Amino acid sequence: MTIEYATPHRARSFLPPDPTRPYFVEKGLGDRAHLFTDLVTVYCGGEQTENTFNFFTVEGPKGDLIPAHVHPETYEVFYVTDGAVRLFVEDLEGEQHEKLLTSGDFGFVPKNCAHAYRVERDHSRIVGVAAGPSGTYERFFENLGTPTEALGLPAEPYIPAPADFGRAQREFDVRFLPGFEWRTAD
């Protein structure tokens, strides 16, 4: 049952573009995108789950804090399987929290909570789920970033143009927070 599908997102994908078919995806062979220094791999999303949830991985090298942002309608899971990732979250009362997550650790970010993270070890991997009652937004990464057929991290960082951030914000459930300060951060 290693079937490849032509989908709205890829000429060849292991993700069937409807919610009726069981499927398997071997490690790393989901729908891949490069964004900044990271590789994002989508294993399921809105088409497969009637817009209920998605499932993806983010792999990256040790690097910088990503831009702070919120999701007005989306709950987000950070489950680290490899390496170490420092997660920063501001709660709805404005209190800021940070936690170093290593293999097997879990972080949960409710909708409307500002958050960011920093990969603290090379070869880190986060498993993510990001969904809410209004749907899923797993194609954000390849819209702000770029789809790729390659395996592995970007050879060079993929830096979106400034206008791409605005477009991504209009099309997906994300709002960037320029100038946001993490008072907990080093």
* Position among 17, 25, 121, 160 found at the interface with a copy of itself (CB under 8 A): 25
Residues numbered 46 to 65 that lie near a copy of itself (CB under 8 A) are: 48-53, 55
Closer residue to a copy of itself (CB): 64 or 73: 73
For residue 144, the minimal CB distance to a copy of itself (Å) is 23
The C-alpha atoms of residue 163 and residue 98 are separated, in whole angstroms, by 30
φ, ψ at 162 (rounded to 5°): -50, -40
For residue 31, the minimal CB distance to a copy of itself (Å) is 12
Check residue 186 for interaction with a copy of itself (CB under 8 A). Answer: no
Check residue 110 for interaction with a copy of itself (CB under 8 A). Answer: yes
Enumerate residues 6+ apart whose C-beta is below 8 A from 135: 46, 51, 73, 173
**Location of structure tokens 């409710």:** 110
Q: Is 167 helix (H, G, I), strand (E, B) or coil?
A: helix
Check residue 122 for interaction with a copy of itself (CB under 8 A). Answer: no
Check residue 103 for interaction with a copy of itself (CB under 8 A). Answer: yes
The C-alpha atoms of residue 100 and residue 85 are separated, in whole angstroms, by 6
For residue 67, the minimal CB distance to a copy of itself (Å) is 18
For 73-136, where are the E strands, in sequence order? Answer: 75-82, 84-90, 96-102, 106-109, 115-119, 124-132, 135-136
Q: Which residues bind a copy of itself (CB under 8 A)?
A: 1, 19-28, 30, 43-44, 48-53, 55, 75, 77, 79, 81, 87, 89-92, 97, 99, 101-111, 113, 115, 127, 129, 131-133
